[in-house]
């Protein structure tokens, strides 16, 4: 088709489509609160694509259609940074003393006497990824460059365009757009995205990636943008490069914290894990609080960063050769360490999977001493080429079990290629049943099923886990005693534990089992998602369990679902659908559910139609934002309760937010809520809403 003349109508339509798509992309990627289903977004996207196809003159560089490019770059071009990308001084003392040392330096440089008030800091996370400079001219992304040596980086514009979280165009009116705004931040990969990527690599029998940071950095520096697009990357903004014509920096008393708010208002992702702190004491509290929650964050951090909050004071402090005097990185214990592989054992898991486990010379990593790490399966072990005696890299981040990320040096002795000094056992080390590997599969499994004590124990531990039924006190030791002593063979038998049975245990175990009985009693009510997850169905992780609960709404519907119906669920593919179907096709599994119900377990069910949120739920259709620390609920718990009540939890406050739930030390979100006139609730009011007691706002 010959491109025809561009009509005013077509041009106006293209502009309107671009605006809508930008807005939806921001809602989807940054605020995590989409307003339209994916299919609608796709429809608008395709309409714009068709218009541009017919009238190439309508294709603008900031068009959402330009995110994914098939074009292969010849090599990464050099980019000279308008303002050098500096490094940051690192405080390696991981105790509170690190914060004191920095604050003392700042006070000395500013010539503040002992009686001068504390210096105000902006404290934030130190993201573990790749630094990037995004150059926006009149609000449009024109260039993205890596840090390189700080003076000159590489042009990765085409690659960065494929990252959904990076706005191609800033939000706001064109008139208010700075002539030049260089935004600096970190490209990173979330841990769950990294685990999924490695899981896929493992399934394909391909090499796994070492850690999210290297994977993100490698993905950004690809020559082919399509490769970047296939890796799930995320972005956080944390600072500025060159700026021309932006009113913000000329306002009186601008602060770094307000600068981050201003960047968020442009539609850039800014982490909400940040706080204004007063003096060394405030910094130490932030350092400690973040450390306590480090494992629960969805991405790796290697420390926190403190910045003098006042931009005027920053200017006064200036730079020392290549580092600003107004900022410091305060580290946490590393999440990767090198140690010696002392041996390889095998473990039998909940589903009978036999996993080779590395026995390690004890090493302090990610905040704990690690002596074991998973090697996943025989094939991965071979691919990694690790042998007993080697120096290996151990990684422990978040809730993920420690793993061997790679090998750095061979141990002594001859090395014969392809013949590792380890063999998979032919019989289960726990029950002696045959070990089998499915044809073409990668996992070895014990065929003993619940006859195998290891599988029984793992099933119990999983059921009791923090993210499942959350039964306090049902740990390794007690499970060993309950199973080895023959007191418990199936999950429902847990709830039949009584004094008579407990008498069979030794004194200590008897006492902890009595506590357990109380915990079991008080923990009988849970959510459908947790219950489904607790059953330990193969391939059904927490996220899938949530999707299933949301989709089916009631246990009976899930149990009777056909494979086709299961395939309709978000993110459920053929393998998962089959696994769920097979699980509930087994009479003894259905019996387990019935017996648990008979034992008094209840889980929130709703009878609404599948996939839709039933309008009868107290928070149906409502979007809430959480900020600050609530007196008794953790963020995860609050989120779970809200979702169970049909509500949605978003990451930032907008006009679409119905309620902001604010706890102690609530930050900018609370200010934003007040500014927009959004109703603010405390925990008590939230609980009233959850219980369906009217409108708290």
Residues assigned a catalytic role: 126
The reply on whether position 212 binds ligand IVH by CB under 6 A is no
Stretch that binds ligand IVH, among 18-26, 126-134, 160-168, 689-697 (CB under 6 A): 126-134
Q: Could you tell me if 122 and 282 are in contact, meaning their C-beta atoms sit under 8 angstroms apart?
A: no
Nearer to ligand IVH, 190 or 557 (CB): 190
Q: What minimum distance in Å lies between the beta carbon of 221 and ligand IVH?
A: 14
Nearer to ligand IVH, 324 or 352 (CB): 324
Q: What minimum distance in Å lies between the beta carbon of 584 and ligand IVH?
A: 46
For 664, the token pair is: 């102690």
Q: Could you tell me if 339 and 392 are in contact, meaning their C-beta atoms sit under 8 angstroms apart?
A: yes
For 88, the token pair is: 């940051």
Q: What minimum distance in Å lies between the beta carbon of 330 and ligand IVH?
A: 11
Q: What minimum distance in Å lies between the beta carbon of 244 and ligand IVH?
A: 19
How far apart, in whole angstroms, are the C-alpha atoms of residue 349 and residue 377?
12
How far apart, in whole angstroms, are the C-alpha atoms of residue 246 and residue 657?
28
Nearer to ligand IVH, 125 or 358 (CB): 125
Beta partners for 603? 526
- Among residues 103, 186, 547, 643, which is the contact residue for ligand IVH, using CB under 6 A? 186
Q: What minimum distance in Å lies between the beta carbon of 625 and ligand IVH?
A: 22
Nearer to ligand IVH, 327 or 529 (CB): 327
* Cα atoms found within 13 Å of the Cα of residue 335, Cβ hemisphere only: 24
**Binding to ligand IVH in span 213-252, by CB under 6 A:** 238-239
Q: Could you tell me if 256 and 307 are in contact, meaning their C-beta atoms sit under 8 angstroms apart?
A: yes
How far apart, in whole angstroms, are the C-alpha atoms of residue 280 and residue 291?
16
Q: What minimum distance in Å lies between the beta carbon of 596 and ligand IVH?
A: 46
- Among residues 14, 197, 219, 305, which is the contact residue for ligand IVH, using CB under 6 A? 305
3-state SS string for 560-588: CCCHHHHHCCCCCCHHHHHHHHHHHHCHH
Query: Which stretches within 323-408 are classed as H helix?
Result: 378-384
Q: What minimum distance in Å lies between the beta carbon of 402 and ligand IVH?
A: 24
**Binding to ligand IVH in span 72-91, by CB under 6 A:** 86-88
Nearer to ligand IVH, 216 or 548 (CB): 216
Nearer to ligand IVH, 131 or 580 (CB): 131
Q: What minimum distance in Å lies between the beta carbon of 307 and ligand IVH?
A: 7
Angle between helices 574-585 and 587-598 (to 10 degrees): 70
- Among residues 126, 161, 191, 672, which is the contact residue for ligand IVH, using CB under 6 A? 126
Q: Where are the beta strands (DSSP E) in 63-179?
A: 78-80, 90-91, 120-127, 130-137, 140-146, 152-154
- Among residues 52, 62, 124, 261, which is the contact residue for ligand IVH, using CB under 6 A? 124
Nearer to ligand IVH, 305 or 528 (CB): 305
CA dihedral for 184, 210, 289, 118, sign (positive or negative):
negative
The reply on whether position 154 binds ligand IVH by CB under 6 A is no
For 494, the token pair is: 């847990």
Nearer to ligand IVH, 328 or 479 (CB): 328
The reply on whether position 275 binds ligand IVH by CB under 6 A is no
Cβ neighbour number for residue 245 with a 10 Å cutoff: 12
* Residue in the block written with tokens 């990252």: 163
Cβ neighbour number for residue 695 with a 10 Å cutoff: 9
How far apart, in whole angstroms, are the C-alpha atoms of residue 329 and residue 306?
6
Q: What minimum distance in Å lies between the beta carbon of 130 and ligand IVH?
A: 7
Scored b (16 or more CB within 10 A) or e, 593-611 reads bebbeeeebebbbbebeee
Polymer length in residues for the chain: 697
Nearer to ligand IVH, 263 or 459 (CB): 263
> What is the side-by-side order of every strand in the sheet holding 623-627?
648-650, 623-627, 659-662, 679-681
Size of the site for ligand IVH (CB under 6 A): 14
DSSP structural state of residue 155:
B
Stretch that binds ligand IVH, among 27-35, 118-126, 174-182, 662-670 (CB under 6 A): 118-126
| Contact letters for ligand IVH, residues 313-352 (x by CB under 6 A) | -----------x--x-------------------------
The reply on whether position 127 binds ligand IVH by CB under 6 A is yes
The reply on whether position 261 binds ligand IVH by CB under 6 A is no
Q: Which residue is nearest to ligand IVH (CB)?
A: 131
The reply on whether position 299 binds ligand IVH by CB under 6 A is no
The reply on whether position 182 binds ligand IVH by CB under 6 A is no
CA dihedral for 634, 640, 646, 652, sign (positive or negative):
positive
The reply on whether position 33 binds ligand IVH by CB under 6 A is no
Residues 6+ apart with CB under 8 A from 674: 680
Q: By CB under 6 A, name the binding residues for ligand IVH.
A: 86-88, 124-127, 131, 186, 238-239, 305, 324, 327
């Amino acid at each position: 088709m010959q491109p025809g003349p561009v009509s005013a109508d077509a041009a106006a339509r293209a502009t309107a489509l671009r605006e809508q798509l930008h807005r939806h992309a921001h809602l989807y990627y940054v605020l995590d609160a989409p307003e339209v289903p994916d299919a609608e977004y796709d429809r608008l996207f395709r309409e714009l694509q068709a218009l541009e196809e017919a009238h190439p003159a309508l294709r603008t560089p900031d068009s959402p259609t330009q995110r994914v490019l098939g074009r292969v770059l010849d090599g990464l071009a050099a980019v000279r940074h308008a303002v050098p990308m500096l490094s940051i001084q690192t405080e390696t003392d991981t105790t509170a003393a690190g914060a004191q040392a920095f604050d003392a330096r700042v006070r000395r440089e500013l010539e503040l006497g002992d009686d001068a008030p504390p210096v105000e800091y902006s404290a934030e996370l130190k993201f573990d990824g790749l630094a990037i400079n995004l150059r926006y001219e009149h609000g449009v992304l024109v260039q993205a460059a890596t840090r390189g040596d700080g003076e000159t980086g590489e042009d990765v514009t085409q690659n960065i365009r494929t990252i959904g979280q990076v706005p191609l165009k800033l939000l706001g009116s064109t008139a208010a757009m700075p002539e030049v705004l260089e935004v600096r931040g970190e490209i990173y990969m979330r841990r769950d995205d990294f685990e999924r990527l490695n899981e896929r690599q493992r399934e394909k029998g391909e090499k796994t990636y070492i850690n999210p940071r290297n994977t993100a950095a490698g993905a950004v520096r690809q020559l082919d943008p399509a490769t970047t697009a296939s890796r799930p990357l995320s972005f956080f903004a944390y600072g500025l490069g060159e700026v021309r014509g932006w009113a913000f920096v000329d306002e009186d008393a601008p602060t770094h914290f307000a600068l981050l708010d201003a960047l968020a208002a442009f539609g850039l992702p800014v982490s909400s894990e940040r706080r204004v702190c007063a003096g060394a004491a405030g910094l130490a509290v932030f350092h400690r609080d973040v450390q306590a929650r480090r494992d629960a964050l969805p991405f790796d951090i290697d420390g926190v960063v403190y910045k003098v909050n006042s931009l005027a004071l920053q200017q006064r402090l200036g730079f020392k050769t290549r580092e600003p005097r107004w900022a410091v990185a305060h580290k946490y214990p590393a999440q990767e360490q090198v140690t010696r592989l002392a041996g390889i054992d095998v473990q039998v898991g909940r589903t009978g999977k036999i996993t080779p486990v590395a026995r390690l010379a004890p090493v302090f990593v990610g905040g704990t001493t690690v002596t074991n790490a998973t090697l996943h399966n025989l094939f991965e072990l071979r691919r990694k080429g690790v042998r007993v005696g080697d120096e290996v890299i151990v990684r422990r981040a978040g809730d993920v079990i420690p793993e061997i990320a790679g090998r750095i040096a061979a141990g002594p002795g001859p090395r014969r290629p392809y013949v590792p000094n380890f063999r998979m056992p032919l019989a289960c080390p726990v029950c002696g049943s045959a070990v089998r590997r499915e044809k073409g599969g990668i996992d070895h499994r014990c065929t003993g099923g619940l006859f195998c004590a290891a599988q029984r124990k793992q099933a119990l531990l999983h059921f009791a886990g923090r993210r499942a039924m959350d039964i306090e006190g049902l740990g390794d030791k007690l499970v060993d005693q309950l199973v080895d002593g023959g007191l418990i063979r199936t999950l429902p038998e847990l709830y039949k534990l009584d004094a008579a049975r407990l008498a069979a245990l030794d004194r200590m175990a008897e006492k902890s089992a009595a506590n357990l009985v109380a915990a079991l009693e008080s923990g009988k009510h849970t959510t459908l998602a947790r219950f489904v997850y607790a059953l330990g169905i193969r391939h059904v992780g927490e996220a899938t369990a949530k999707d299933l609960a949301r989709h089916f709404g009631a246990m009976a519907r899930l149990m009777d679902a056909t494979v086709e119906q299961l395939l309709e669920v978000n993110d459920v593919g053929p393998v998962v659908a089959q696994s769920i179907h097979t699980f509930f096709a087994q009479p003894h599994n259905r019996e387990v559910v019935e017996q648990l119900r008979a034992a008094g377990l209840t889980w929130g069910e709703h009878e609404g139609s599948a996939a839709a949120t039933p309008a009868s739920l107290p928070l149906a259709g409502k979007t809430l934002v959480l900020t600050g620390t609530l007196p008794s609920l953790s963020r995860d718990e609050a989120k779970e309760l809200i979702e169970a009540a049909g509500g949605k939890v978003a990451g930032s406050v907008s006009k679409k937010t119905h309620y902001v739930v604010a706890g102690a030390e609530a930050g900018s979100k609370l200010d934003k809520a007040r500014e927009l006139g959004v109703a603010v609730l405390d925990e008590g009011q939230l609980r009233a809403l959850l219980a369906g007691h009217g409108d708290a706002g």
